[in-house]
Amino acid sequence: MGQTLREFIKETSCSQRKDQNIQSLDLELMACSLFDIDRSKLFSSYILLDQKRKAQFLSMIQRRNSGEPLAYILGEKDFWNVELEINDQVLVPRPETETLIEDILLSFNQHRLSVLDLGTGSGAISLALKKEREEWNIFSSDFSEKALGIAKTNSLKNDLHIFLACSNWLNAFRPNSFDLIISNPPYIKDDDLRLESDGLSHEPRSALISGPLGIEDLYTISDNAKDFLKKRGWLYLEHAPQQAEELKFSLTDLGYINITQLIDLNGDPRAIKALSV
């Protein structure tokens, strides 16, 4: 008789070395995806693992152990209130980015708002906001056409309408157009050792790396966004915790006011908002 799924998960979980990337939760989520079942059914049902499924499962484990993010292997990731299709053309949406969503939803209740999400990737920020505020006009741009294809798939999957544009930051837009400009741009330095770490090593370099300093794209966006925001429009930027002070000074220099840092669930300054006047 073949092995059961439950036995296989237990056995694999015990045999993983400490230096391997996989966690037992990863194994459980891979199994759920492979058999298309809920996690609650995983151990309560008697499921036999045939040779074909076992080979598929082993290949998923091998991918994960080579540092590929779980979201790419499963092909999906939840973000805020939306389920997103994900592949290696886009960053895996992170819980830290939900810090921006939370603050925006608490701060803006207006019916009509014109919003731009720069570097949308999978469409995570845009779609989470659109689902919460259906009347808002949301424009989502990316330099990568492949990323825009995924954002489009995700907008259809979630039945949410956003306007997609291929653009190098603000190039495709008209000045004085937006009440809110939001971005989670690349903000890692090109020689940062983290780039070789679990997960990051498989994500698109262009979505992670900004240049030798890491802060280049954040500066470009801060500088240009002023012209594209309406009077009293807000800029929201995600950044690395160690960039918080530098970015605050630069936004002040550029003439933004009411500059406020946003703290993520780890207690780190992860985003900043600033008012353009």
Residues making contact with ligand GLN (CB under 6 A): 91, 94, 184-188, 200, 208
Beta strands in the chain (DSSP E): 76-79, 82-85, 114-118, 137-142, 163-166, 178-183, 188-189, 209-211, 229-238, 257-263, 269-276
Which among 273, 227, 228, 229 is positioned nearest to 251, based on CA atoms?
Answer: 273
Q: Is 139 helix (H, G, I), strand (E, B) or coil?
A: strand
Nearer to ligand GLN, 37 or 200 (CB): 200
Nearer to ligand GLN, 185 or 233 (CB): 185
Q: Report yes or no: 177 and 165 within 8 Å, Cβ to Cβ.
A: no
Q: In the complex, what is the shortest distance from the CB of residue 111 to ligand GLN, in angstroms, rounded to a whole number?
A: 30
Q: In the complex, what is the shortest distance from the CB of residue 188 to ligand GLN, in angstroms, rounded to a whole number?
A: 5
Q: In the complex, what is the shortest distance from the CB of residue 273 to ligand GLN, in angstroms, rounded to a whole number?
A: 16
Q: Is 189 helix (H, G, I), strand (E, B) or coil?
A: strand
Nearer to ligand GLN, 28 or 103 (CB): 103
Nearer to ligand GLN, 86 or 91 (CB): 91
Cα radius of gyration rounded to whole Å, the chain: 21
Nearer to ligand GLN, 42 or 214 (CB): 214
Q: In the complex, what is the shortest distance from the CB of residue 239 to ligand GLN, in angstroms, rounded to a whole number?
A: 8
Nearer to ligand GLN, 91 or 181 (CB): 91
Classify residue 92 by burial, with Cβ atoms within 10 Å: 0-12, 13-18, 19+.
buried
Q: In the complex, what is the shortest distance from the CB of residue 97 to ligand GLN, in angstroms, rounded to a whole number?
A: 7
* φ/ψ (deg, to 5) at 249: -60, -45
Q: In the complex, what is the shortest distance from the CB of residue 95 to ligand GLN, in angstroms, rounded to a whole number?
A: 10
For residue 267, the 8-state DSSP code is: S
